[in-house]
Structure 1
């Protein structure tokens, strides 16, 4: 039965090398079917590796690495910015974040003349407000944009300090060497906002004590208002502004009772970590990776293999695990086209940032070359029909 289903999928959805136009500001990245990757590169504080695999009809994961100036002024500070934006409901919010968040961060860094938690929080707030303005403008002709949102994971390395900010359930994991044993421990640096976590449900219930349906167990999955798993995001305006939770928004997004205060939040959880010589690397990834690999498994893979191509290796191992769960071969999974691929795994973005202690300890005022890399995806050429695969 499964083999017959696979033969059908291969016949209908087999990718062809000439079907797609590959497009990204990749700074040397490469495309292989639905996989985009940059095996190795140099950032202000060491080396990095990036990989993105597409599952949705339109890539909803967006990502970037910016190295060099973190301010609009040449006087600094300097460092490395990493962003992983896992969209849902469509790619509009994650694309918007990719285009605006880092620019906001540079503006606020210029105003305060230093990197800080306040700068990062203001950059998030400005991005949220900017997307709200976009939704307000587009609402009359495209009301469904009110139901599009994105998780938002950011890491900033500046002057020996690592700031990690997060909305949603993407994750940053540090690999730290233990001198006594030689092993490398996995340390999660980001707080997650997913209703499957009991503390998140408790927080929502305390914020909405009069709403017995603020979290609902639906098909064995905890969801906020029975609609969405995450409690914090950029976008998802339909659960933040009651005026957008009405017709002509699709009925499945509309709540029965109007709400008086926002249900979801755009206030990120931010941690500050003083980097030490035994801090080896940080893995920034969307939840598409973490649903198949534990923190320690991912750290062990990075530690035990070559740096070049390590992000691509992590993506491949995650896909192998996804195939195994569906009792199929990895080679067969690779032949399934985007859209239908979403039945087997999510979009996956991985950025591995290696930390050179000599470079990390440099003063944030020491100038370095600018580098900008964005994770790529597959786009259709103009006036071309989309594949018969349907989005999930």
Structure 2
């Protein structure tokens, strides 16, 4: 593995010398649960538009792992707002502990409304989001809008927990809201010829045709559950879920695993801003 990591470092140095952000931590409820994240600026001319949350927090009598990736577009302000406000809004919901899925949906709607009200301040851009809440190391609740993705590994097998909200898959929904999906040769399908995802926060000029309703998946954590990956689409454009799982399944350090996934995506010529979180569960 040491030789492989050296090779990845050589490839990355040759391909990209952008600024990075990285870090790690562990749960107080179990010393076996650790997390690490890594971000790297892509080849675009604009500022870095990805933001992450990766932390454990004691709330009432529960230990919560709060993990999220926010992939901004047309500016970074909406993604930054989500980083500082979305989990707060989720945990403020009175029915979070009794009807968690419903509380998350309400908090997503509330946060999107706040962003739209602040459009003059935050700009015309938007952001995708994938959030994961690990409750006492036993229950995982994943929600997402857009194409950042959550994948869990059980006994070496990858399972996607999020939904890629692609305009081509939600064409009827977009048309029912009065919009259209363009599909020009050499380009990806886009909402109103502009946005390459069918759901997002913000994007005030498109919001009448664009949903911010999250898909939600609940997964119980058992002895067969090894780790979770959250990553922006810059990684998933160049590797499959199983390829990502296979790449890091023998790496014990969560931060090193997150970095290796980004290194591999860069070696495969991904040019997007990239962010990745890995949560090791055993």
Shorter-normalised TM range = 0.7 to 0.9
- Name which one, 1 or 2, has greater alpha-carbon Rg: 1
Equivalent residues in 2 for 1:1-392, closer than 5 Å: 33-38=18-23, 40-43=24-27, 44=29, 46-55=33-42, 56=44, 57-69=46-58, 71=59, 75-108=60-93, 111-112=94-95, 114=97, 116-135=100-119, 137-138=120-121, 145-146=123-124, 148-159=125-136, 160-177=138-155, 184-195=156-167, 198-205=168-175, 207-208=176-177, 214-218=180-184, 219-240=186-207, 262-308=208-254, 309-322=256-269, 345-356=271-282
Partner SS for 1:199 = coil
* Alpha-carbon distance in 2 for matches of 1:233, 1:113: 22
Bigger strand share: 2
Q: How has the CA–CA distance of structure 1 residues 305 and 355 changed in structure 2, closer, same or farther, with 3 Å as cutoff? A: closer
Q: Do 1:77 and 1:113's aligned partners in 2 also have CA atoms closer than 8 Å?
A: no
* Alpha-carbon distance in 2 for matches of 1:274, 1:112: 20
Partner SS for 1:312 = helix
User: What RMSD, in angstroms, separates the aligned Cα atoms of the two structures?
Assistant: 2.0
* Alpha-carbon distance in 2 for matches of 1:283, 1:266: 22
Unaligned 5+ segments in structure 2 are: 1-15
TM-score with structure 2 setting the length: 0.85
For these two proteins, the number of residue pairs brought into alignment is: 258
TM-score with structure 1 setting the length: 0.62
Q: Do 1:60 and 1:87's aligned partners in 2 also have CA atoms closer than 8 Å?
A: yes
> RCO higher in 1 or 2 (8 Å CA, sep ≥ 6)?
1
Q: Do 1:174 and 1:187's aligned partners in 2 also have CA atoms closer than 8 Å?
A: yes
After TM superposition, give the deviation of residue 79 of structure 1 in Å. Answer: 1.5
